[in-house]
Amino acid sequence: MAICATCGNDYDKAFTVTWPDGRSATFDSVECAAMQLAPECGHCGCRILGHGIETDDGMFCCAHCARKDTNADVNDRYPVPAGA
């Protein structure tokens, strides 16, 4: 069995993520992997598990958060729905 790098659980179905530079970490779940690997939104702090929005000022989970923290003219989709 292997020990999760996030929670310390000793689990028989753990998996290891290896970076191109040779570093690696073992996790017992995708949730634990995301806690260590996924970037945090610069506004609300949630983990960015999808594409997110990247501006010159940082990474954000959505356009709403990017607009709240920056002057970026960004939208989650195009064209912007009426009333948004």
Same domain, 74 and 43: yes
Same domain, 43 and 76: yes
Instruction: Find the domain containing 60 and state its range.
Output: 39-84
Same domain, 45 and 33: no
13-26 pLDDT, tens digit each: 999 999 999 999 99
Question: How many domains in the chain?
Answer: 2
d(CA 25, CA 6): 9
pLDDT at residue 78 greater than cutoff 60: yes
Same domain, 49 and 84: yes
pTM of the model: 0.74
23-64 pLDDT, tens digit each: 999 999 999 999 999 999 999 999 999 989 999 999 999 999
Token digits of residue 53? 């929005």
Same domain, 54 and 33: no
